[in-house]
Amino acid sequence: MAVQTPNGFNLDRSGKRIVSGGFLFGYIRFAHFSAGYVLSAGFLLRIYWALMGNAHAMQIFCVPLWRRCFWRELHHEIRRYSFLAVEPERGLGHNRLAQLAMFFMFTQTITFMVVTGFALYGQGAGTDSWQYKVFGWVFSLWPNSQDFHTWHHLGLWVIVMFALVHIYAVLWDDVVSRRSFPSIK
């Protein structure tokens, strides 16, 4: 007589797992894929907001590297994080250092993760799936998808690093300058 546990394993009478019934890794993969879809939808919404929202909404998609004032403000912000300056440069929106990090570590990485994620997903969904038709072109860059598998892993670690720095900077800025999100009431 077999019993199924909540995590999907079938157990025999002595409590040992029966081979056929489990779907644990399938559920883990399902969680991964659904999170990917939610992330992609959210990112599309963010792009829409960049186009339709106020001036600050565009900040993480467009970094004015060609403006002199950008570099001056960036320099000031680096000095501030190195404890050499106290006053923040800008009052509203991301500071220039944050903007740079958001663009290169968040916006670019998420775009890369969405594209490679759907391409790898398309391999499983089949060459006739819409995911493969829309994103399968990436495999003409590197024919062996093992490379994308590897870079998709690296991308995760970039996001982990970004999250660490991002959350710390928000809290730090709040403690030091009382201007960050947590202080807005």
Partner 1 sequence: MGDATETFYGVIRRQGITRRSFLKFCSFTAASLGLGASSIAHALETKPRVPVIWLHGLECTCCSESFIRSAHPLIKDALLSMISLDYDHMIMAAAGHQAEAILEETRARYKGGYVLAVEGNPPLNEGGMFCIDGGKPFVEKLTSMAEESMAIVAWGTCASWGCVQAAKPNPTRAVPIDKLITNRPFIKVPGGPPIAEVMSGLVTFITTFGKLPKLDHQGRPSMFYSERIHDKCYRRSHFDAGQFVEEWDDTNARKGYCLYKLGCKGPTTYNACSALRWNGGVSFPIQSGHGCLGCSEDGFWDKGSFYDRLTTIKQFGIEQNADEIGMAAAGVVGLAVAAHAAVTAAKRLRHRPDRPAHKGKPS
Considering only 164, 170, 174, 181, the residue that binds partner 1 (CB under 8 A) is 164
d(CA 42, CA 114): 11
User: Please, which residue, 35 or 167, has the CB nearer to partner 1?
Assistant: 167
Enumerate residues 85-114 that contact partner 1 by CB under 8 A: 86-93
Position 75, amino acid: H
Q: Report the C-alpha gap between 164 and 153 in whole angstroms.
A: 17
As given in the structure block, the two tokens for residue 168 are: 């710390």
- Binding residues among 11-50 for partner 1 as defined by CB under 8 A: 17, 19-26, 28-29
Minimum Å distance from CB 111 to partner 1?
18
| Residue 28 in tokens | 């883990």
Beta bridge partners of 10: 4, 18
Cα–Cα distance measured from residue 122 to residue 155, given in angstroms and rounded to the nearest whole number:
18
The reply on whether position 168 binds partner 1 by CB under 8 A is yes
Name the strands in the sheet holding 17-18, side by side, starting at the edge strand that comes first in the sequence.
3-4, 10-11, 17-18
Report in angstroms how near the CB of residue 41 gets to partner 1 at its nearest. 26
In angstroms, what is the minimal distance from the CB of 94 to partner 1?
A: 11
User: Smallest gap, in angstroms, from Cβ of residue 48 to partner 1?
Assistant: 25
- Cβ–Cβ under 8 Å, residues 106 and 50: no
Pair 121, 92: CB distance under 8 Å:
no
- The yes or no reply on residue 64 touching partner 1 (CB under 8 A) is no
Size of the site for partner 1 (CB under 8 A): 57
77 vs 93: CA distance, rounded Å = 13
154 binds partner 1 (CB under 8 A): yes
The residues of the shown chain that bind partner 1, judged by CB under 8 A, are 8-9, 17, 19-26, 28-29, 81, 83, 86-93, 123-124, 126-127, 136-137, 139-140, 142-147, 149-151, 153-154, 156-158, 160-161, 164-165, 168, 172, 175-179, 183
